[in-house]
């Protein structure tokens, strides 16, 4: 089995430092690789950009906009889907024409929260593929679904061709594809090729025009919004508890849940749950967040009334206020 494991985090940071030095030479020598979206989903709706490439060479983390949508040493772009059931219908696509170099398949789709980080040591990428695009450009796709890889080393692929499905293999707690672009073995941020050190928003985008339409820089987005029964945790949401839920007469508690991506320090979150005739069943307003959070889950709920759940419409409204202005608003409902 070919080892596809990603570089250790500190090493990745150093590689980015080297990239900055060599980039002007590459740009003058030939045109950079153009990449398409590596996932068959609608970014911002059926999938989300969870993490960008870390440009900070030190122990901190900074994305190409000098924002916080990354973590220390992250060397790719993460496209996530809302939960495990939704991953089953999202294909991973070749970002450009090329030839398959390496692959790994056969690793289980399971969160490292369940099996522990040690279980995937040396194979953090999980089921993965590396594609050679010529001119020393390559792309890598990690955490693919077990037995979903459709291409083998030596095979040619076309941009947009299905090569696998989004999965949960390797070092991951949620279904996503980790997409890395490299030139001469050095990590390149497809949002900011040749970006100068600390140059916020600098560098050149490698994304195709069609991909760029879906790739607005998004500090704050709703990943899941829905109802469930009782107290739900991250694993239950990941396993699809919100998609499966049906209110029944004996449901012990009705819970409205929203999981959001990349909320910022100072953000205030408001959430309400109302029942038939607009009766307020639960309501909350958070203190300003003390720090930015890659994902933030909020749930409010109501225990079953003694005479059962009244028939009618149950509605939840979720709002995130940033710097005094409304950043996100999501309303969702169910009819019982």
The distance of closest approach from Cβ of residue 209 to Zn ion in the complex, given in angstroms and rounded to an integer, is: 25
The reply on whether position 78 binds Zn ion by CB under 5 A is yes
- Measured from the Cβ of residue 133, the count of other Cβ atoms closer than 10 Å reads 23
The distance of closest approach from Cβ of residue 74 to Zn ion in the complex, given in angstroms and rounded to an integer, is: 6
Which of residues 178, 259, 296, 322 is near Zn ion by CB under 5 A? Answer: 178
Nearer to Zn ion, 126 or 228 (CB): 126
Torsion of the alpha carbons at 155, 187, 209 and 195, rounded to the nearest 10: -160
The distance of closest approach from Cβ of residue 330 to Zn ion in the complex, given in angstroms and rounded to an integer, is: 26
Number of amino acids touching Zn ion (CB under 5 A): 3
Q: Is 86 left (phi over 0), alpha (psi -120 to 50) or beta?
A: alpha
Per-residue CA distances from 179 to 141, 154, 175, 248, 255 (Å): 5, 20, 13, 42, 35
Q: Which stretch binds Zn ion (CB under 5 A): 69-77, 128-136, 209-217, 313-321?
A: 69-77
Nearer to Zn ion, 170 or 194 (CB): 170
Q: DSSP state, 43?
A: B
Nearer to Zn ion, 69 or 100 (CB): 69
The distance of closest approach from Cβ of residue 7 to Zn ion in the complex, given in angstroms and rounded to an integer, is: 12
For the segment 4-23, give every residue that binds Zn ion (CB under 5 A).
none
Measured distance CA(198)–CA(49) in Å, rounded: 22
Per-residue CA distances from 225 to 204, 230, 250, 257, 326 (Å): 35, 15, 22, 6, 18
Nearer to Zn ion, 178 or 259 (CB): 178
The distance of closest approach from Cβ of residue 126 to Zn ion in the complex, given in angstroms and rounded to an integer, is: 11
Q: What is the DSSP string of 183-250?
A: ETTEEE-TTSBTPPTT-TT-SB--B-HHHHTT----SSEEEEEEEEES---HHHHHTTHHHH----TT
**Burial label, 210 (beta-carbon count in 10 A; 0-12, 13-18, 19+):** exposed
Nearer to Zn ion, 76 or 194 (CB): 76
Nearer to Zn ion, 76 or 301 (CB): 76
The distance of closest approach from Cβ of residue 293 to Zn ion in the complex, given in angstroms and rounded to an integer, is: 17
**Burial label, 299 (beta-carbon count in 10 A; 0-12, 13-18, 19+):** buried
The distance of closest approach from Cβ of residue 66 to Zn ion in the complex, given in angstroms and rounded to an integer, is: 19
Q: Which stretch binds Zn ion (CB under 5 A): 170-178, 181-189, 230-238, 256-264?
A: 170-178
Q: What are phi and psi of 25, to 5 degrees?
A: -65, -45
The distance of closest approach from Cβ of residue 178 to Zn ion in the complex, given in angstroms and rounded to an integer, is: 3
Nearer to Zn ion, 178 or 322 (CB): 178
Q: Which stretch binds Zn ion (CB under 5 A): 1-9, 70-78, 88-96, 262-270?
A: 70-78
Residue nearest to Zn ion (CB): 178
Q: Which stretch binds Zn ion (CB under 5 A): 10-18, 96-104, 178-186, 280-288?
A: 178-186
Nearer to Zn ion, 211 or 300 (CB): 211
Structure tokens belonging to residue 285: 């307003």
Structure tokens belonging to residue 84: 């495990």
What is the helix (H) or strand (E) element at residue 23, kind and residue range? helix 9-29
Q: Footprint of Zn ion on this chain (CB under 5 A)?
A: 76, 78, 178
């Amino acid at each position: 089995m070919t080892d596809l494991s990603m570089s250790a985090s500190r090493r990745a940071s150093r590689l980015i430092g080297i990239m900055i030095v060599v980039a002007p030479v590459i740009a003058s020598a030939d045109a950079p690789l153009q990449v398409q979206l590596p996932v068959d989903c609608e970014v911002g709706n059926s999938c989300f950009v969870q993490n960008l490439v870390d440009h900070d060479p030190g122990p901190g983390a900074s994305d190409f906009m000098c924002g916080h949508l990354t973590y220390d040493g992250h060397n790719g772009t993460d496209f996530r889907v809302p939960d495990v059931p939704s991953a089953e219908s999202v294909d991973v696509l070749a970002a450009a024409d090329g030839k398959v170099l390496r692959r790994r398949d056969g690793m289980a789709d399971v969160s490292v929260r369940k099996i522990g980080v040690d279980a995937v040591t040396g194979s953090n990428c999980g089921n993965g593929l590396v594609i050679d695009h010529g001119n020393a450009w390559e792309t890598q796709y990690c955490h693919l679904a077990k037995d979903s890889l459709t291409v083998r080393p030596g095979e040619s692929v076309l941009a947009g061709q299905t090569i696998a499905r989004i999965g949960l293999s390797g070092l991951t707690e949620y279904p996503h594809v980790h997409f890395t672009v490299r030139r001469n073995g050095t990590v390149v941020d497809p949002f900011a090729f040749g970006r100068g050190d600390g140059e916020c928003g600098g560098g050149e985008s490698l994304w195709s025009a069609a991909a760029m339409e879906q790739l607005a820089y998004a500090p704050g987005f709703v990943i899941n919004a829905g109802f469930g029964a009782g107290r739900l945790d991250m694993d239950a949401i990941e396993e699809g508890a919100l998609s499966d839920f049906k209110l029944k007469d004996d449901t012990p508690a009705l819970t409205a849940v929203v999981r959001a991506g990349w909320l910022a320090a100072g953000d205030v979150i408001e959430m309400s749950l109302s029942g038939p005739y607009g009766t307020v069943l639960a309501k909350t307003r958070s203190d300003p967040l003390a720090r930015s959070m890659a994902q933030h889950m909020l749930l409010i709920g109501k225990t079953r009334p003694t005479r059962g759940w009244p028939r009618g419409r149950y509605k939840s409204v979720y709002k995130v206020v940033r710097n005094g202005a409304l950043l996100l608003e999501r309303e969702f409902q169910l009819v019982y």
